[in-house]
């Protein structure tokens, strides 16, 4: 497996992917399969929800020749398996075992619902399909959910393209009691239906599919530029420059006044049960108040708060296994920033607890803790910074 710009992918070949698919149908669990390519991985750098879904998937197939180049540049091994190739096996397996296929088709996509019905009838007649044609969206509508519940699919394939297909399927599985396998395959069905001609095998072997697509669809030049030039430049920056830099970051200490005194809001990391910390995030070109406001709104859902104070660059730390962004199987693999240079924003919560809605990709839980219990409530790796921040909020008592 390789870790490219923080996304882990490319662990298995076609044979092992076939075995994994078979296992997924038989273990009574829900499984999402993703097929990241250079463009999707670039999108994930600015889309934390997509970043989370890609890294939490049960199977990640490296789709895109650029990922092989990326793996070599970072001294990693990667097995490439395109979604279009895996689709053929998925459908063959589904036909052999008479799977109930839910196909979510983009209403304004290249392949029409009729195209897909005809293709399945001619080539995979033993598959029992339900085709839902709808607008490209990140969540299924209530109507779509009811159709899916009644159909009870074994397999769901979405052809929206990233990031909508990954998010749609994530929420679809979350809202269905039964859906063993879900996979987003972008335009792979356009190849199957004949609406789009796939690059010849020799071109694919040489990694020139992007050039073939450019010839067929010149209007895609911006996407192809991002998937080639922009991706390689981002990779070089991530691999060779960022490891020597600290990411500008802001932590937010939000408190509320109660009969018990001042209470502070903390959150539990999604990827590490028991790891409690203050909400935090990168500046991303904003000043610390703007970034702190954004992070607080994104991570807690609150809008009724007042900024009390802000302090720049109070603490700096290196990434490690406890606090690093990227990990797998207990092993840290982080080529990005060396660590973070953290500022602090203090805010007073002025709303009601009912409005607090944490985002699922960052955190699993939240709570208010007494101000005096702040340090003992934070994860040990956060306590050194917590001492500094505690001094800042303590000064509010004197003002």
Radius of gyration of the chain from Cα atoms? 23
- Tell me: pLDDT of 327 over 90: no
pLDDT confidence bin for 260, thresholds 50/70/90: confident
pLDDT confidence bin for 220, thresholds 50/70/90: confident
- Tell me: pLDDT of 232 over 80: yes
Angle (nearest 5°) at CA 284 between 278 and 287: 80
Put simply, whether the predicted model's pTM sits higher than 0.85 gets the answer yes
Stretch(es) of the chain classified as CATH 3.90.79.10 = 246-398
Mean pLDDT of 356-379: 96
What pLDDT digit, counting tens, does each position of 49-76 carry? 999 999 999 999 999 889 998 998 888 8
What pLDDT digit, counting tens, does each position of 261-310 carry? 899 999 999 989 999 999 999 999 999 999 999 999 999 999 999 999 99
Mean pLDDT of 122-138: 93
CATH of 246-398, one of 3.90.79.10, 3.30.1370.60, 3.40.50.1820, 1.20.120.340: 3.90.79.10
Mean pLDDT of 137-164: 96
Q: How many CB atoms lie within 10 A of CB 139?
A: 15
Alpha carbon distance 290, 296 (integer Å): 10
**Residue 278 contacts residue 363 (beta carbons within 8 Å):** no
């Amino acid at each position: 497996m390789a870790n490219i710009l923080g996304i882990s992918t490319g662990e298995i070949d076609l044979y092992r992917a076939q075995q994994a698919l078979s296992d997924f149908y038989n273990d009574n669990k829900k499984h999402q399969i993703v097929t990241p390519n250079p463009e999707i991985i670039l999108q994930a750098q600015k889309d934390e929800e997509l970043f989370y879904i890609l890294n939490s998937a049960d199977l990640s197939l490296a789709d895109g020749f650029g990922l092989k180049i990326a793996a070599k540049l970072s001294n990693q091994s990667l097995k490439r398996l395109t979604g279009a190739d895996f689709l053929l096996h998925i459908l063959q397996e589904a036909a052999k075992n008479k799977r109930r296929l839910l196909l979510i088709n983009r209403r304004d996509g290249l392949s029409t619902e009729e195209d897909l019905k005809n293709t399945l009838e001619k080539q995979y007649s033993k598959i029992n399909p339900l085709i839902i044609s709808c607008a490209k969206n990140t969540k299924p509508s209530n109507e779509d959910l009811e159709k899916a519940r009644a159909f009870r699919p074994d397999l769901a394939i979405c052809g929206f393209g990233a990031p909508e297909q990954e998010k749609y399927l994530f929420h679809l599985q979350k809202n269905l009691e039964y859906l063993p396998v879900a996979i987003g395959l972008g335009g792979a069905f356009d190849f199957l239906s004949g609406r789009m001609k796939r690059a010849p095998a020799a071109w694919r072997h040489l990694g020139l599919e992007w050039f073939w697509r450019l010839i067929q669809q010149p209007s895609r030049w911006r996407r192809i530029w991002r998937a080639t030039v922009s991706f390689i430049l981002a990779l070089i920056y991530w691999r060779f420059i960022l490891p020597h830099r600290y990411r500008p970051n802001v932590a937010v200490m939000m408190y509320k006044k109660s009969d018990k005194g001042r209470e502070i809001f903390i959150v539990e990391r999604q990827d590490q049960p028991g790891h409690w910390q203050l909400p935090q995030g990168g500046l991303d070109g904003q000043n610390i108040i703007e970034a702190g406001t954004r992070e607080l709104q994104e991570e807690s859902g609150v809008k009724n708060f007042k900024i009390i104070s802000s302090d720049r660059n109070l603490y700096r730390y290196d990434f490690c296994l406890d606090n690093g962004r990227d990990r797998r199987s207990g092993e840290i693999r982080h080529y990005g920033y060396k660590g973070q240079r953290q500022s602090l924003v203090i805010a007073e919560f002025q709303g009601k607890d009912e409005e607090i809605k944490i985002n699922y990709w960052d955190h699993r839980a939240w709570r208010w803790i007494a101000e005096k219990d702040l340090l003992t409530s934070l994860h040990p790796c956060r306590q050194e910074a917590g001492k500094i921040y505690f001094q800042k909020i303590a000064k509010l008592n004197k003002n």
